[in-house]
Amino acid sequence: MNNSWKLYNTNKTGDFFDELITDAGRPRAAARHAVKMLQSLSSKEMAARRQAAELAIREMGISFTIYSEGKNIDRAWPFDIIPRIIPAREWEKVSRGLAQRSRALNRFIDDIYNKQKILADGLLPADIVLESGNYKPECANVSPRYGAWAHICGTDLVRDRDGRFYVLEDNLRVPSGVSYMLENREITKRVLPELFKNHSILPVDDYPSRLYSTLASLSPREQRRPCIVVLTPGIFNSAYFEHAYLAQGMGAELVEGSDLFVDEDDCLYMLTVDGPERVDVVYRRIDDDFLDPETFREDSTLGVPGIMRAWKQGNVAIANAPGSGVADDKVVYAFVPEMIRYYLGEEPSLASVKTYLCMNEPDRDYVLANLDKLVVKPANESGGYGLMVGPHASKEKRAEFAKLIEKNPRNYIAQPTLSLSTAPTYIDDTVEPRHLDLRPFILQGKETWVTPGGLTRVALVKGSLVVNSSQGGGSKDTWIVEGKRK
Amino acid sequence: MIMLSRVAERLYWMARYLERAEDTARLTQAYTHLIMDIPAGSEPGWDILVRILDGEPIFGDKAFNEQNVLNFLIADEENPGSIRHCIRAARENVRTTRDVLPEEVWEHVNELFLYSQARARKSVGRRNRHQFLEQVTTRCQMINGLLMSTLCRDHAYRFIKLGHLLERADMATRVIDVGAGALLGTERLNKAVDPLIWASLLQSLSAMGTYRRTVGPLVEANSVVEFVFRERTLPRSVRFCLDGIREELVPLKNNTDALKILERSRRSLSRFNPETAGREGLHRFIDRFQLELNTLGGTISSTWFMPPRP
């Protein structure tokens, strides 16, 4: 065994589930070949592979942008070369659970903007939903095709110490990261080609064509090739790379708001060198608030005046549909298992994390008394901003959050601190355990489809639980591996 | 094939900037060789390179010495005509049009950018200059070759070609302007070094060999002007560029204005007579001609990049 792995088990302090190595220090069955091969590499060889990965990332221009000190910085994508491996048999169950969840969430959104049966039946309090900033009254009485609103959903999963997957949150507005999932596989193929010989790894690279089919199924006009565009806020957005990547992968146009306009016929057009061209489907990567200055924020220059009009008339499909965010509120999250029973008559097959709603007095009392054990999150922030990890927070920080909660209880939820699973990660010259999560993507159009695996994000800082790339996180290639191949 | 106006604009500018980087590298390379060939004392000054590219306002009142001028042309980020700036601008344009280009184009342009970021400053001095300029030229040509051999002959190709040819035509006239000598000043004119200058200019257009085969071994001012302006088979001649622009304008919608201006330029090019014009006349013609090319660029932009909204 190569020296860099020697200390792996001694470094596994605390009781975490490790994705590749058992408590006895042996590789898990699905990861056996890969671990054996990686352990056979000398330190020099490992370093060379990492260097090759860095080179590939630079050359492929895989980057993300962070906003720091008033400047946009284009950073190379931080990538760990050791893949995370999940057996296909286990994944199948997770995948079914994700599809089930996505169906229920879409039924919920469609219900909320139409009959509001779930509120009438008292399953969850109406004010939670209707007073949330994510509920958009402008979307009422619209019925998108197939009742699908959140066509692309990124659901964050974590594994607790019991080895089970839990849903941490659903991202239904403009989830990002899928291009990194695809590029990570590309990089691994380049730098560790030997690994692919002994494994049967489910391919991920048909995602753009799946996305295309999903979007095409939404087109209001019956056309052999509907006109699909990806609407980006532009080059300064942190996910611009992904917008371009997906547009190219689908053969769609990558557009900015200024490329589009709504004509007097309430249809959407784009400006081309041959004149205006009718658009059928908009895969938008800008938030609701910026989508249409006629309806939402007047000062938005990113959006398209009148696009909501065109959408409501059924002249253009928008993915995700405006208003979908109503279901990714962290308070609403607590009710998803109930929704699954209510709309689908099924038991949820994926576990959710126990969630305390600060708006309920007993919950709030518990949260305030146990701030040092809990993770407190604002109900509508994403990207890991504004959250507090109790066990790691200072006294002052906890006092600050206690005040915030008392001032605006509706805006906060709390969850027990999960002990996120770890996986071997190549840090400096040694392989060490680092915490990670997983974001699979679920597509919902005429059909439902789940990515095999997803984007694994890893906290590169020792002991850290924050995996967001904007806050020092990296990522790993994620393998769903089928049974042994001889 | 759909092409967004904004994307067409960025492709066009990507091409212009790549062409400008390459042509500036070629011209600088040829000029450096020329200066080494001419006996000390009678060599033309470095200021010509700045003037030929209309760079005086940005160059400011620095001394026109080799170090300052070469830094200005190669590495100065404030100079929109510097090789380093052109490459950066080309990359920015590719970065926002990656979805319509073959994937390798981005990789190569990005590599060229990383190369120029790392090397430009260190390549101002004579020691590394040659290698840098050669690399820039070669890499630009590689990207060109990649575009020519992989792009569908649709709008993307069309606007890229328009950008390349318009820039190349402009640069060809500037190269001739060096030889026109109006910029050299009469005190620097020297019959003995004249053929050397014209030969090095032909070299900067990769046209020396063709010139020898089609015109003859003697390099002489009027025939070089004739050759670079009007040789229809030479890919870097002005005539060739205008013909190519015409070819791409014809299939575009709303092309009336642009074609009208182009035809005017083609006519004035074919009417120009180097024999009777003299050096002063040649220089004045080039100035006027560059203005016409500018007008053509403006019309392309207002017709296809900024179409009126209903």
Query: B308 at the A interface (CB within 8 A)?
Result: no
| DSSP code, position A201 | B
Q: Which residues of A touch B2 (CB under 8 A)?
A: 227, 253, 270, 272, 274, 277
pLDDT recorded at residue B172 = 94
pLDDT at A63: 64
Q: How far is B156 from chain A (nearest CA, A)?
A: 10
Q: Select from A245, A253, A274 the Cβ nearest to the Cβ of B253.
A: A274
| Tokens 């200390």, located at residue | A7
For a pLDDT cut of 70, what percent of chain A falls above it? 93
pTM over 0.95, yes/no: no
Calculate how close chain B gets to A208, using CA atoms only, in Å.
Answer: 13
Q: What per-residue confidence (pLDDT) applies to B188?
A: 52
| Average pLDDT rounded to a whole number, residues B161-176 | 95
pLDDT at B236: 93
Using the Cβ of A24 and the Cβ atoms of chain B, whether some distance falls under 8 Å is answered with no
Q: Give backbone dihedrals phi and psi of A143, rounded to 5 degrees, phi first.
A: -125, 90
On whether any CB of chain A is under 8 Å from the CB of B110, the answer is yes
Residue with tokens 């806050």: A471
Asked if residue B310 is part of any domain, the answer here is: no
CB proximity A276 to B under 8 Å: yes
* pLDDT score at A146: 96
Any CB–CB contact under 8 A between A365 and chain B?
no
pLDDT beyond 50 at A486: no
Chain centre distance of CA A384: 12
Closest Cβ opposite residue B3 in set A252, A264, A272: A272
Q: Given the structure tokens 């619209």, which residue do they identify? A: A142
Q: What is the ipTM of this complex?
A: 0.79
Q: Confirm whether B65 is domain-assigned.
A: yes
DSSP bridge pairs for A27:
A21
Is A277 part of the contact surface with chain B (CB cutoff 8 Å)? Answer: yes
B309 part of a folded domain: no
Residue ranges with strand state E in A296-429:
317-319, 351-352, 356-357, 374-378, 388-389, 412-416, 422-427
Task: Tell the residue number behind the tokens 């893949």, with chain if given.
Answer: A83
* DSSP letter assigned to residue A90: H
Strand pairing of A430-439 and A79-87?
Answer: unpaired
Instruction: Tell which of B1, B11, B96, B99 to mutate to test the A interface (max A CBs under 10 Å).
Output: B99
Nearest-5° angle of CA B109, CA B110, CA B114? 120
Give pLDDT, residue A159: 94
DSSP conformation class of A19: S
Rounded to a whole number of angstroms, the distance from the CA of B251 to the nearest CA of chain A is 11
User: B309 and A58 in contact by Cβ < 8 A?
Assistant: no
Q: What pLDDT does A470 receive?
A: 66
User: B35 pLDDT exceeds 90?
Assistant: no
**In chain B, what residues touch A65 (CB-CB under 8 Å)?**
none
Give the three-state DSSP class for A113. coil
Measured between alpha carbons, how far is A457 from A477 in angstroms, rounded to an integer? 9
Q: Which domain holds residue B33?
A: 5-304
Q: How many residues does chain A have?
A: 486
Which residues have a Cβ under 8 Å from the Cβ of A32 and sit 6 or more positions away?
none
Tell me if B33 is assigned to some domain: yes
What local confidence, expressed as pLDDT, does residue B185 receive?
54
Residue scoring higher pLDDT (A57 or B247)? B247
pLDDT value at position B182? 47
Using CA atoms, how far residue A176 sits from A105, A154, A439, A468, in Å, is 19, 7, 9, 11
- The edge-to-edge listing of strands for the beta sheet with A374-378 is A356-357, A412-416, A374-378, A388-389
**B3–chain A nearest CA distance, Å:** 5
- Per the CB < 8 A criterion, the answer to whether B166 and B245 are in contact is yes
CA–CA dist A247, A237 (Å, integer): 15
Categorize the per-residue pLDDT at A64 as very low, low, confident or very high, splitting at 50, 70 and 90: low
Specify the amino acid at residue A95: S
- Split into its structural domains, chain B has a count of 1
Give the pLDDT mean for B243-252: 97
Q: Is A155:A170 a contact under the CB 8 Å cutoff?
A: yes
Tell me the per-residue pLDDT of A22-31, one tens digit each, with 9 for 90 and over.
988 899 999 9
- A479 token code pair: 């393998």
Return the pLDDT at B274.
86
pLDDT confidence bin for A69, thresholds 50/70/90: very low
Instruction: Looking at the complex, report in whole angstroms how far the Cα of residue A61 sits from the nearest Cα belonging to chain B.
Output: 7
| Mutation site, B1, B2, B113, B160, interface A, largest A CB count within 10 A | B2
Least Cα distance to B68 among B87, B47, B41 occurs for: B47
Check whether A145 has a pLDDT greater than 90.
yes
Considering chain A, what is the average pLDDT of its residues? Answer: 90
Please indicate whether, in this complex, the C-beta atoms of B253 and A244 are within 8 angstroms of each other.
no
Chain A nearest-CA distance from B17, in A, is 19
CB pairs under 8 A between A and B: 71
Cβ neighbours of A248 in B, within 8 Å: 98-100, 103
Which fold does the domain A94-153+204-344 belong to in CATH?
Rossmann fold (3.40.50)
Tokens of B250: 């014809």
* Lowest-confidence pick of A206-220, A232-246, B34-48, B172-186: B172-186
Nearest neighbour of A244 by CB, restricted to B92, B98, B304: B98
Nearest CA of chain A to the CA of B136: how many Å? 17
> Does position A68 have pLDDT exceeding 50, yes or no?
no
pLDDT of residue B136: 97
A71 residue type, one letter: K
| Cis-peptide, bond into residue B144, ω within 30° of zero | no
Confidence bin at A382 (pLDDT 50/70/90): low
Share of chain A above pLDDT 90, in %: 68
Where are chain A's structural domains?
94-153+204-344, 354-416
Structure tokens at A271: 């400006």
Q: Which of A95-104, A268-277, B190-199 has the lowest mean pLDDT?
A: B190-199
Between B142 and B190, the higher pLDDT residue: B142
User: Distance between CA A151 and CA A159 in Å, rounded?
Assistant: 25
Q: Which chain A positions have a beta carbon within 8 Å of B110's beta carbon?
A: 58-59, 61
Residue A432 pairs with which residues in a beta bridge?
A425
Place of tokens 């938030």: A287
| pLDDT of residue A70 exceeding 60 | no
CA distance B143 to B163: 14
Asked if B5 lies within 8 A of A271 by C-beta distance, the reply is: yes
Q: Distance between CA A485 and CA A385 in Å, rounded?
A: 44
Paired with A84 in beta bridges are A478
Task: Note whether residue B41 is domain-resident.
Answer: yes
Q: Which positions 322-351 of A are in contact with B (Cβ < 8 Å)?
A: none
Q: Which whole-number Å values give the CA distances from B260 to A275, B8, B168, B173, B288, in the listed order?
A: 21, 21, 20, 21, 17
Q: What is the pLDDT of residues A406-443, one digit of tens each?
A: 998 888 999 998 889 999 999 988 999 999 999 999 99
- Residues with Cβ within 8 Å of A390's Cβ and at least 6 positions away in sequence, in order, are A370, A371, A372, A373, A374, A375, A376, A398, A417
Each residue of B214-239: pLDDT tens digit? 999 888 888 999 999 999 999 999 99
The answer to whether B100 contacts A248, with C-beta atoms less than 8 Å apart, is yes
Rg over CA atoms, chain B: 19
- Least confident piece of the model among A363-367, B218-222, B262-266: B218-222
Mean pLDDT of B113-120: 95
- DSSP-derived secondary structure for chain B: ---BHHHHHHHHHHHHHHHHHHHHHHHHHHHHHHHHHSPTTTSPPTHHHHHHTT-HHHHTTS---HHHHHHHHHT-TT-TTSHHHHHHHHHHHHHTTGGGS-HHHHHHHHHHHHHHHHHTGGGSSHHHHHHHHHHHHHHHHHHHHHHHHHS-TTHHHHHHHHHHHHHHHHHHHHHHHHHH-TTT-GGG--TTTHHHHHHHHHHHTT-HHHHHHHT-S---HHHHHHHHHH-TT-TTSHHHHHHHHHHHHTTSTT-HHHHHHHHHHHHHHHH--HHHHHHHHHHHHHHHHHHHHHHHHHHHIIIIISPPP-
Q: In this complex, is the C-beta atom of A54 within 8 Å of any C-beta atom belonging to chain B?
A: no
Q: Is the pLDDT at B262 greater than 70, yes or no?
A: yes
Cα–chain-centroid distance for residue A13? 29
> Was domain A354-416 assigned CATH 3.40.640.10?
no
In a domain, B100, yes or no: yes
Statement: residue A401 has pLDDT above 50: yes
- DSSP β-ladder status, A473-481 and A79-87: parallel
Residue A369: is it exposed, middle or buried by C-beta count within 10 angstroms (0-12/13-18/19+)?
exposed
B159–chain A nearest CA distance, Å:
10
Render A293-333 in DSSP notation, one character per residue: TTTS-TT-SSS-TTHHHHHHTTSSEEESPTTGGGG--HHHH
Distance CA B258, CA B11 (A): 18
Determine the residue among A230, A273, A283 to mutate to test chain B binding: the one whose Cβ has the most chain B Cβ atoms within 10 Å.
A273
CB contact under 8 A, B5 and A272: yes
**CA pair distance A113, A326, nearest whole angstrom:** 10
